[in-house]
Structure 1
Amino acid sequence: MQDPGPPIAYLALRGGTPVYDRAGNRVGTMEHVLADERSDIFHGLIIDAAPPLPRHAFADADQIAELHEQAVLLSVEGGELHALNERTGAGEASIEEGKLRARLEEAREWVGRHH
């Protein structure tokens, strides 16, 4: 991995920025920032993933270690990202799992509208 450049805020992140897992493997490129801009709350990133990952994956905010001008650095391995082509079950879930489920659904809807 080359120099990731200076740290940036999620609002300055550009589509096409390379995304690397915690081992330094490139897992794809950032396609879309998922956030509530009114409340300035960052939810995560939709990633155009490289094989063997599914075409689109979601990195929840807690799976992201650092945002830089030239790279996104994850705090997890690529295989721990959330696949956007898979639906989660409708069973009982904690509040945190419910929030993640809502973010995943929002990410899936975005991918559906743009691909």
Structure 2
Amino acid sequence: MSEAHDHPIAYTALQPGTPVHTSDGQPFATVQAVLVDEKVSVFDGIVVETTDGTRFVDADEIGTIYTSHVRTTLTAEQAANLPVPDRSNLVDIKPPRTMAERLRRKFGRKL
């Protein structure tokens, strides 16, 4: 799917397994997890799985998150030299819940 027919999404809708591309559109990884600073609810970046293992892509290196892929601002050389993530701060983003699911979880009963 081309970006012209794809839709940008928020990081909270990003799913594991989503392809991650360099700035020129070449896939180099897939999303493994999303990193969020929970204290201030700020997107910090994504953890990706590459052929060389798990790596971290900082939020500043994310161009646009689309429904079908993540476009980074990285060149192929930069993508090949990404750091290993600090797992102490990892938070996996889950699919959004319905209002009924949120209320049920909050109040512990069926609605």
Q: What is the deviation of 1:3? A: 2.4
Please state whether the residue corresponding to 2:86 is helix, strand or coil. helix
- RMSD of aligned Cα (Å): 2.0
Q: Which structure: greater helix fraction?
A: 1
2:34 counterpart letter in structure 1: V
Q: What is the deviation of 1:40? A: 2.1
2:66 counterpart letter in structure 1: H
Which residue of the partner structure matches residue 79 of structure 1?
Answer: 77
Question: Please, what TM-score do these two structures have when normalized by structure 2?
Answer: 0.68
Taking a change above 3 Å as real, the CA distance of residues 79 and 56 of structure 1, as seen in their structure-2 partners, is farther
Alignment of 1:16-95 (within 5 A): 16-50=17-51, 54-81=52-79, 82-84=82-84
Show structure 1 runs of 5+ residues with no match: 85-103, 111-115
Q: Confirm or deny: 8 A CA contact 1:3 1:70 kept in the other structure.
A: no
Higher relative contact order (CA 8 A, sep 6+): 2
Q: What is the deviation of 1:11? A: 0.5
Show structure 2 runs of 5+ residues with no match: 91-111
Q: What is the deviation of 1:38? A: 4.7
Matched residues in 1 for 2:76 and 2:48: separation?
A: 11
Aligned length: 86
Which residue of the partner structure matches residue 106 of structure 2?
Answer: none
Matched residues in 1 for 2:78 and 2:41: separation?
A: 26
2:62 counterpart letter in structure 1: I
Q: Confirm or deny: 8 A CA contact 1:21 1:73 kept in the other structure.
A: yes
Matched residues in 2 for 1:12 and 1:24: separation?
A: 21
Q: What is the deviation of 1:76? A: 1.0
Please state whether the residue corresponding to 1:42 is helix, strand or coil. strand
Q: What is the deviation of 1:79? A: 3.0
Taking a change above 3 Å as real, the CA distance of residues 83 and 45 of structure 1, as seen in their structure-2 partners, is same
Which residue of the partner structure matches residue 86 of structure 2?
Answer: 105
Identity of aligned residues (%): 28
